[in-house]
Amino acid sequence: MSHDVHHFSMGMWVFFLSYTTAVMGSFVGLSCVRRSLEEPRRSGNWWLLMASLSIGGVGIWLMHFIGMMGFSVPGTTIRYELAPTVFSVVLAVVATLVGLRIADVHDVSKHRIPESVRLLIGGLLMGAAVSMMHYSGMYAIRIRGAIEHETGYVIASVIIGVVASTAALALARRTRRLEIRVVAAFVMGCAVVALHYTGMAGVRVTSIRACPRPKA
């Protein structure tokens, strides 16, 4: 039996909190990227790591689970399994770090790849991994039933993730001015939230009475 799915069961304040979280995580991360450009390679890597923790861990992963606070299915309790949840945060942080490293302006290799190609490769890898983070987070959900995702919405969310990631990497290289970082953070926040709720729009839940109640 199909069930209605509520995405804002706790009110719209959850949506605005998740968006604010995405913006703040993006702004701090972009600020760390800017600082990495001013440092030598070794110390700059630490700033890139902090940027990935901020963008991937806060702006993307934390935003996702704040948004999930409003997710409910009438007639069943919702729980989250620990292992896939931990995997999703590791994936978000590592994906962001890989993307930032691919687009790193400190690269002085003699066979330097053109900037546009590096941004495209980084955006594709980071966007795919961020989308995987969303769906691995969804895989962690345990309910008295089954959750399915409509293919069209999955494809759309992945496309949004790739475009957003490519834009984020491009903005990360040009955010020396405070006002540009602020605008870039709001744009990135919109992209992250759009990916999340596009994916969630395709969620379909089927109630299965034979399934045991999820454990707390």
Mean pLDDT value of segment 154-176: 80
Say whether pLDDT at 103 is over 80.
no
Q: Which is higher by pLDDT, 16 or 36?
A: 16
Q: Please give the backbone phi and psi of residue 72, each rounded to the nearest 5 degrees, phi first.
A: -145, 155
| Per-domain residue ranges of the chain | 2-102+112-207
Determine the pLDDT at residue 133.
86
Number of Cα atoms under 13 Å in the Cβ half of residue 145: 20
Per mean pLDDT, which of 3-12, 15-24, 32-41, 197-206 is the most reliable?
15-24
Quick one: pLDDT at residue 108?
44
Mean pLDDT of the residues in the chain: 82
d(CA 55, CA 62): 10
Contact call for residues 203 and 147 (beta carbons, < 8 A):
yes
What band does 16 get if pLDDT is binned at 50, 70 and 90? very high
Give residue-wise pLDDT tens across range 49-72.
999 999 989 999 999 999 999 888
